[in-house]
Structure 1
Amino acid sequence: MPTALVTGGSSGIGYAFATELARRGYDLVLVARDPQRLGSAARAVRNKFGVQVHELSADLSDHDDIARVEQVLADRPIDLLVNDAGFAAHDDLLDDDWSGQVRALDLMCLAVLVLSGAAAREMVKRGSGEIINISSMNSLIPADNYAAIKAWVNSYTEGLAARLDGTGVRANVTITAWVKTEFHAAAGLDRPRIPDWVWVPVKSVVRLALADVRRGKVRSVPTLRWRFAAWVLQHGPLALPRRVSHWVQSEHDNNRIGGPDEPRPEDV
């Protein structure tokens, strides 16, 4: 029976990956920071699908915890890695408290780099395996550090896919748009005031990512409307991404609802 390791697997997109993979017969290693939420998610998946679910509580902004998960990838055959853990790192770029920016870089860049590399090394030895890294439409606009981080995820994953060419191992970056999860609330943000048709069903994100990585497609954007939007942002007028960036930043400024001083890692 194949095994998948999913970071951010206790809620949101990560949990959607967990349930879909369990439905397809995968055993799971679920990684998340909050042990209570993780335990609840793992029990729900076990009870519904009857697969084995190993719980690994880890804060992937902590270097020691990254190393613990890296060791699991080295010791246990993992057929599919999903790097989903993250949080909405929309701190002001001029803020003199840069601790949140560092946490974001560790969680969404360093952890992705280390865990993808660890998984890929073992997969190459076996001649098969799949890696999915979750990105965001923010990666296509010059908004803030979160946008820059997700742009790095895009570039890194495409480089990894090129490095793995011919090995039997495939890598995919899935660029999500607005998906209804706990993501905004965890960051202390209201959901953006946009029409319902703009939101993407979380199952669409998961199923497209799994289908695309299986057929060797390196970059995925769920739904035709968001694929068109991504194309326009990349190939349209140079001023357009900046205009979108101004709108996104104003939404962040206007919709903050308060919350914990330290944002909780959630699903991107």
Structure 2
Amino acid sequence: MPTALITGASSGIGREFADQLAAQGHDLVIVARREPELLQVKSEIETANQVSVEILVADLNDRAQLQTVADRLADQSRPIDVLVNNAGFGLAKPFLDNPVEDEERLLNVLVRATLVLSHAAGNAMRGRKTGRIINVSSVAGWMASGTYAAAKSWVTVFSESLAGQLSGTGVTVTAVCPGFVHTDFHSSGDIDRSSTPDFMWVPLKDVVSEGLAAADKGKTISVPGAQYKVLTTLLRAAPRPLIRSRRIASTHRNQE
């Protein structure tokens, strides 16, 4: 039975990845900071599916705890077939209004953790000549809206680069780039999205199912939702001064 490791698996997009991968018959290794939530997810998933769920309690901002997850990915005696780098959060205030420690923590979780875990998984999977790495990025990565957008831009470009390096090895890398999704992402970051139009929201199940389908096909970029496929096409073609405009940047800060 294949095994998937998912970071940020206790809620939101990560939990949906866990549910859908378990339904497909994957055993799971679920990673998050709080053990009670992980134990609840483990119980619910094992009750609903004939799979085994292992929990790893880790704060990915902490380098030593991050290494524990990397070591699990590198363990060839217990191979991980699918890695989902999903853990993340947003900050409600502009860059200069946040404590620099919060900005560093954001980069550690969104960027450093993705880099370290992809390195561990990529080497292990390349050795076995099979595997999938799925990095949850964001439509915000094509915008200029603070550290979050910059971090997600890195995740997308990094995924494209790693996919190219692993071409022909049997290992694929997919960046899933959602727009607005109904999860606890915004409330946990004290981010108000009450004025966002209904048509801009993509169902959580669709984000994950489209991302998994793209990974199954070996696609490098997945943008769930027709509206965001159009938007990202326009963003890639738009002049950078327009992308840098304050109004657009503030409107689309923190997408997930």
TM-score by length of 1: 0.90
Distance 1:251 1:198, change over 3 A: closer
Partner of 1:98: 100
Q: Which amino acid aligns with 2:9?
A: G
Q: Is the 8 A contact 2:143 2:249 kept in 1?
A: no
Q: Which amino acid aligns with 1:31?
A: V
Q: Which amino acid aligns with 1:13?
A: I
* Shift of residue 74, structure 1, vs aligned partner: 1.0
Aligned-partner Cα distance in 2 for 1:216–1:157:
12
1:1-268 map, 5 Å: 1-75=1-75, 76-95=78-97, 97-243=99-245, 245-249=246-250, 268=256
* Shift of residue 71, structure 1, vs aligned partner: 0.6
* Shift of residue 25, structure 1, vs aligned partner: 0.4
Aligned-partner Cα distance in 2 for 1:87–1:96:
14
| Partner SS state of residue 85, structure 1 | coil
Tell me the number of residue pairs that the alignment of Structure 1 and Structure 2 aligns: 253
Q: Is the 8 A contact 1:4 1:82 kept in 2?
A: yes
Q: Which runs of 5+ in 2 are unaligned?
A: none
Aligned-partner Cα distance in 1 for 2:98–2:187:
24
* Shift of residue 249, structure 1, vs aligned partner: 2.3
1:200-251 alpha-carbon deviations (Å, 9 max, x no partner): 01111111111111111101100111101001011134343234x5245268
Q: Which amino acid aligns with 2:43?
A: R
Aligned-partner Cα distance in 1 for 2:92–2:242:
20
Q: Which amino acid aligns with 1:106?
A: N
* Shift of residue 37, structure 1, vs aligned partner: 1.2
| Partner SS state of residue 10, structure 1 | coil
For structure 1, which segment, 6-15 or 187-196, has the greater mean C-alpha deviation from structure 2 after superposition?
187-196
1:168-195 alpha-carbon deviations (Å, 9 max, x no partner): 0000001110000000010012224122
Q: Greater relative contact order: 1 or 2 (C-alpha under 8 angstroms, separation 6 or more)?
A: 1
Distance 1:104 1:17, change over 3 A: same
* Shift of residue 130, structure 1, vs aligned partner: 0.2
- Supply the RMSD in Å over aligned alpha carbons: 1.7
| Partner SS state of residue 244, structure 2 | helix
Q: Is the 8 A contact 1:90 1:146 kept in 2?
A: no
Distance 1:96 1:184, change over 3 A: closer
Distance 1:136 1:69, change over 3 A: same
Q: Which runs of 5+ in 1 are unaligned?
A: 253-266
Aligned-partner Cα distance in 2 for 1:33–1:215:
32
Q: Is the 8 A contact 1:5 1:29 kept in 2?
A: yes
Q: Is the 8 A contact 2:159 2:175 kept in 1?
A: yes
TM-score by length of 2: 0.94
Aligned-partner Cα distance in 1 for 2:199–2:223:
16
Q: Is the 8 A contact 2:33 2:59 kept in 1?
A: yes
Q: Which amino acid aligns with 2:214?
A: D
| Partner SS state of residue 78, structure 1 | coil
1:144-168 alpha-carbon deviations (Å, 9 max, x no partner): 0011000000111111001101100
1:78-132 alpha-carbon deviations (Å, 9 max, x no partner): 0000000000134432247200011011111010000011001110111100000
* Shift of residue 196, structure 1, vs aligned partner: 1.6
| Partner SS state of residue 180, structure 2 | coil
| Partner SS state of residue 215, structure 2 | helix
